[in-house]
Chains A and B, each alone.
Chain A
Amino acid sequence: MILTISWLKNHLKTSASLDDIIDKLTKIGLEVEGIKDSSGAISEFKIAKILKTENHPNADKLKICDVSIGGSLVVKVVCGAKNARSGLITVYAPPGAIIPKTKMKLKVAKIRGVESKGMLCSESELNLSNENAGIIELKNKDVKIGKSFFKSPGEKAIDLSITPNRPDCLGVRGIARDLAAAGVGRLIKLKTSKFKQVSNQSIKVSITKEKNQGCQAFASCLIKGVKNQESPKWLKDKIQSLGLKPISAIVDITNYVMFDLNRPLHAYDADKINKEIIVRNSKDGESFSALDDKKYILKKDMCVIADKSGVLGLGGIIGGTRSSTELETKNILLESAYFNPASIRKTAKTLSIETDAKYRFERGIDPNSMIDGLKLATELILKICGGVASKFSISGKKNYKNKSINLNSEKFKKVIGLTIRESETKKILGNLGFNTKSSKKIFKVKIPTWRPDVSQDIDLVEELIRIKGFDKIDFIEPEKMRTKETLNFHQKLFHLSQRCVSNKGYHEAVTWSFTDQKIDELINDDKNFISILNPISKDLNVLRRSIFSNLLFYLKKNHDRGFQDIALFEIGPIFYGKKPGDQQIVIGAVKSGQLNKKSWSEKTRNVDIFDMKTDVIKTLKEIGIKEDEMFVSDKTKNCYHPGRSGSVNLNSMNGPIIARFGEIHPSIISKLDFKEKNIYGFEIFLKNIPEPEKKLRISKENYVFSDFQISERDFAFVLDKNYQVGKLDKIIRNLDKNIKSVDIFDVFQGGNLPDNKKSIAINVSIQSDKKTLSDNDLNQISEKIIKEVENKTGGNIRS
């Protein structure tokens, strides 16, 4: 909503300064987005005359114009407009000016080798209209070369952002009323103008009775014998101050009334209406050509204004070309109606139409403003265009009663924490147009029909504090007291694991929850996408089902920037369905390239799967999983290299999966076009990490230690090549309680060994808690180990 001070003063008697008004608007909730066209900037656009033109030596379509910009000043401007010709009076923007449309700041520039000082403007560039075929042609004789093009320079326009609950402030009068209530001035009474209304309105208007009828009331006035014309200067200035283009007196007047009283109107050329006006629901497939030069094909049950021949326009949204007024129009029918907000919104949304009228109707227009709007518009039309007005006719609902709300006088204090006197309550509400009667601590408040947002006592509390000022409320310092834990187990786990992974050298990424369908398919190996109906772009069109999709995508980007030897991770949701809650939190990590590159002390080597396994297992330990609760196997998923990946399950091989790790599948790597192909990843599934029982977590197990001699024995076995050595740890430990640790310190293939065999070396530490073990004891244990390993593996001790 655009507001100029001069317009405001039509409704508000005030001596407040612009700054005071801006400050007050902000304080009462009418947010000032900006001050437009401050005189400094806008006055730079000057009326100028092209003295002569010559063709540009290097470009056929360009001309070099000598432009007189007032006094004896002449500048050279390169211009591409076809209509640039000597003698033309137009608008000149000097270097430094900001073009309203593009917001570009002009500079002195060489255009194809010829210097141009500023530019000549089209209406489109100045946001006056969409006209961009050529530069502005000023025909009025009274213009003065060198004067500012924009009228009333120094007049500032306040750009207000009006919240959807305040349709009444989409008109200047509503804003004036709020300001008056806030003490900035006095609201001027609406002048009741008198003009003759001779005959009855002779065009029949009917609102059909049907389900979902979007129009409740339709008031109209027939004005005959008008002479439509260009608007007078004061009206054009008003229209231009809104950023609109003046069209003709009749159109400008309807727009003026809309912005003045927040009362949209529509003017029909009465001679183009076939017999009568019928307000009805559309039939499926009906169509009409609208004033925005588009043809709309309607769905069933949209509220249309029609005549005997068909649809004239969409009520409250946009008129049609068939009945539009023109300069030649002699007789007009003026419409002032009330449309259902929901109906307006539904229709406009379906057809994607955005108009000032629609914007107002969908928020809720004062239904009782129909006649005020008709009066003001008719008066102005008669004054400017002449003619004879009919009496007003109203079809449909004629009277809208005020709703009434009871407000307990204690309510304000209860919610706001501040007392308010009865007199103040009455004064504020009264100034806002609410009629109050009080009895026994209860105010009976009548709600004006222009305030559809006020429907219960809390809304009145808001009105009171809004006008009184939020700054009157004291800060109550919060109490430093905690009765509940801040984080639950899974939230703590989230934060702990996040830092555990990061601490292993991984940079945390936060990527979209959506991803590219192509990558999603690649990683999940199926097409069970979770599609977004209206994605931001076609490569972010599905919810991610794996944490790897975006991580790999961004890993690749980093590779392309020259960073191959990096590690990234993300902790966040992945999705497995469309229902709320079909998601789980996982950690995903990727690591690629080489380690110790450019190290003077260490050997450079490729990242490998055991780097990932180390990071995964260590993280799991850090977040509370004991090593003997983890069961590692070669179970894997499609996104990993089938031979170089594994899973960690909890408590048994078939227990809940808590992690996966391994090399990313080479076919994914190559399809994503990675040049550095050595890429590994791991995932941790946090939802499967169980919450330990509280007591277990706090008190530790008894600490038992032994001071007796510890003995170590080394064994070498020859096993089948595919035997999973990881199992041996648990097998050997379970043999004897004196076996304290089992370490695999060598794995060897080749040499003299057959192709299908491998040799492993194991170190076993043996220690009793009760005595020093004898050679005999140790030998017995060794033999047990050999026998058991040979038995379980089918291998042999290496002699």
Chain B
Amino acid sequence: MSDLNIIVESFEKKFSNIKSKEELQNLKSEFFGKNGLISSEFKKMNTLNPEDRKTFAKSLNDIKNQITHQIEKRFKDFENQTINEKLKSEKVDVTLPTKITHNGKIHPVSQVIDEISSIFSEIGFSVAEGPDVESEYNNFTALNTPENHPARDMHDTFYLDKNKKTLLRTHTSPVQIRTMSNGKPPFKIIVPGRTYRCDSDQTHAPMFHQLEGLHIDKNITMGHLKGCLNYFIREFFEVKKIKMRFRPSHFPFTEPSAEVDIGYKVENDKIVIGEGDKWLEILGCGMVHPNVLKNTNVDPSKFQGFAFGMGIDRLAMLKYGINDLRAFFETDYRWLNHFGFDPLDIPTNYRGLSR
């Protein structure tokens, strides 16, 4: 028995002095090797009588397990220590900058067109389009603006031929003509698109974007027009209520015609839409003139409805606080970067218009 105690004592002593994995390995061999101290003790077992053997075996096994456990644990510690040292040496400076990625941006006009389409989609409008080059007939005559009508003065038109038969569309309204001439009512469309007028200053660009709306059915009244625009403006500016005023005006292609103002106030140099006692003109609209319906072979005694038009660039400016219209088209990288939108920021009905 005392032999075993000596072995344990000797192990404890040596074990406490172990400094490396190699020494531990040697210690292990010393005790468990072929002629190791423990192994030798096991060999002794055969010489004992069965009675003693039993107790001896138990003690020996306990010692063996205890020592093995200690050694294994120490091996683990050495391993961990090595790994930790290695990892420590691998430490990097995570405050270094990220790799250079290039994030593109979506132009505010495109973003706003997507927002608008999303809003009108919900109330059943489809998107229609037409060419940028238009016939004088579609752009003016069919829209109840015959030649020599003073209303033509309101549009400074770019012409492509001397006879003034082809032009760059001055508004998106010719798409009304195209849609109605080529289809059967009901019609429920919006038309976002490029429009052109040869006019250029701080608030006018020779090219700008317009949104046309047209809803023709059997019983569409001015009440529907007011409701539709009120809904749109509310949704677009993401406000619950909007102050809105319809003023009589004149467009050759609608009768009655109205211009729409929305209420706003200025707070900290920023325009706040929807409240306040100032008015901002935002769009023109009206009930489609019977002459326009006749020109497109829609029977005005059976069908009626409304149309509206508004400036998309201006909507973008108001919503996103952009001051200068000309900057939209100047492709200044810094401007695009500042006012542009992340391409993954897609306006949708279910997720909302803006983040």
Contacts and interface: CB of A to CB of B under 8 A. Distances in A.
Interface stretch (B7-15, B44-52, B128-136): B128-136
Interface stretch (B16-24, B59-67, B223-231): B223-231
A415 B287 contact: yes
B250 A480 contact: no
Best-surrounded residue of A510, A569, A583 (most CB of chain B within 10 A): A510
B96 A600 contact: yes
Contacts of B221: 414-417, 476
B121 A482 contact: yes
Given A27-B247, A456-B290, A476 B99 contact: no
A307 B318 CA distance: 59
Given A476-B226, A511-B331, A563-B333, A535 B158 contact: yes
Contact of B159 (A462, A479, A532): A532
A221 interface: no
A498 B110 contact: yes
A536 B150 contact: no
A458 B331 contact: no
A466 interface: yes
Nearest to B207: A512
A578 B287 contact: no
B222 A415 contact: yes
Interface in B240-278: 245-250, 252, 255-259
A420 to B, nearest CB: 13
B322 interface: no
Given A475-B223, A483-B124, 20 more contacts: A26-B247, A163-B250, A164-B151, A164-B153, A164-B154, A414-B219, A478-B123, A504-B104, A505-B104, A510-B109, A532-B160, A533-B164, A535-B158, A536-B199, A536-B200, A543-B133, A558-B331, A572-B194, A583-B132, A600-B97
Interface in A74-101: none
Interface stretch (B29-37, B69-77, B340-348): B340-348
B85 interface: no
A362 B152 CA distance: 12
Contacts of B230: 475
A495 B129 CA distance: 14
B95 to A, nearest CB: 12
Interface stretch (A40-48, A308-316, A341-349): A341-349
B330 interface: yes
Contacts of B162: 533
B127 interface: yes
B161 interface: yes
A484 interface: yes
A244 to B, nearest CB: 22
A6 to B, nearest CB: 26
A40 B117 CA distance: 48
B122 interface: yes
B211 interface: no
B106 interface: yes
B222 A486 contact: no
Contacts, number: 266
Contacts of A513: 132, 168, 194, 196, 207
Given A471-B245, A602-B99, A573 B104 contact: no
B222 A417 contact: yes
A390 interface: no
A378 B330 CA distance: 59
B185 to A, nearest CB: 13
Given A29-B248, A342-B148, A561 B304 contact: no
Contacts of A514: 206-207
B28 interface: no
Interface string B186-220: 00100000101011100000110000000000010
B192 to A, nearest CB: 10
A575 B224 CA distance: 38
A534 interface: yes
Nearest first, the 10 A-B pairs at minimum CB distance are A505-B102, A29-B248, A417-B221, A163-B250, A554-B331, A502-B104, A470-B246, A417-B223, A462-B256, A502-B343
Given A568-B331, A578-B161, A508 B106 contact: yes
Nearest to B102: A505
B175 to A, nearest CB: 11
Contacts of A125: none
25 contacts: A28-B248, A29-B247, A163-B249, A414-B221, A458-B255, A462-B248, A473-B222, A473-B226, A474-B223, A476-B226, A491-B129, A499-B343, A505-B102, A505-B103, A505-B104, A509-B331, A510-B107, A530-B160, A534-B158, A536-B199, A543-B133, A554-B330, A568-B331, A583-B131, A600-B97
A475 B222 contact: no
Nearest to A467: B248
A363 interface: yes
A485 interface: yes
Given A471-B245, A480-B123, A536-B206, A501 B131 contact: no
B238 interface: no
Contacts of B188: 484
A298 interface: no
Contacts of B133: 543, 575, 578-583
Interface residues of B, number: 91
B105 to A, nearest CB: 5
A514 B149 CA distance: 28
B105 A510 contact: no
A507 interface: yes
B interface, over-half SS:
mixed
Contacts of B245: 470-471
Interface of A: 26-29, 31, 163-166, 341-342, 345-346, 362-363, 414-418, 456, 458-459, 461-462, 465-466, 470-471, 473-488, 491, 495, 498-514, 530-536, 540, 543, 550-551, 554, 557-558, 561, 563, 566-569, 572-573, 575, 578-583, 595-596, 598-602
B194 to A, nearest CB: 6
Nearest to B105: A507
Nearest to B103: A505
A533 B331 contact: no
Nearest to A571: B110
A550 to B, nearest CB: 8
B337 interface: yes
Contacts of A599: 99-100
B348 to A, nearest CB: 11
A503 B161 contact: no
A575 B248 CA distance: 39
Contacts of B199: 536
A557 B248 contact: no
B42 interface: no
A608 to B, nearest CB: 15
Contact of A341 (B120, B131, B148, B166): B148
Contacts of B150: 164, 345, 362-363
A531 B160 contact: yes
Contacts of A415: 221-222, 256, 287, 304
A228 to B, nearest CB: 34
B283 interface: no
A409 to B, nearest CB: 16
A392 B123 CA distance: 64
Q: Which residue among B117, B126, B346 has the maximum number of chain A CB atoms within 10 Å of its CB?
A: B126
Interface centre among A363, A480, A533, A595 (most CB of B within 10 A): A533
A536 B160 contact: no
A459 B254 CA distance: 10
A509 B223 CA distance: 39
A501 B124 contact: no
B343 to A, nearest CB: 4
B333 A558 contact: yes
B328 interface: yes
A383 B125 CA distance: 65
Contacts of A456: 290
A508 B340 contact: yes
B289 interface: yes
A751 to B, nearest CB: 33
Contacts of B182: none
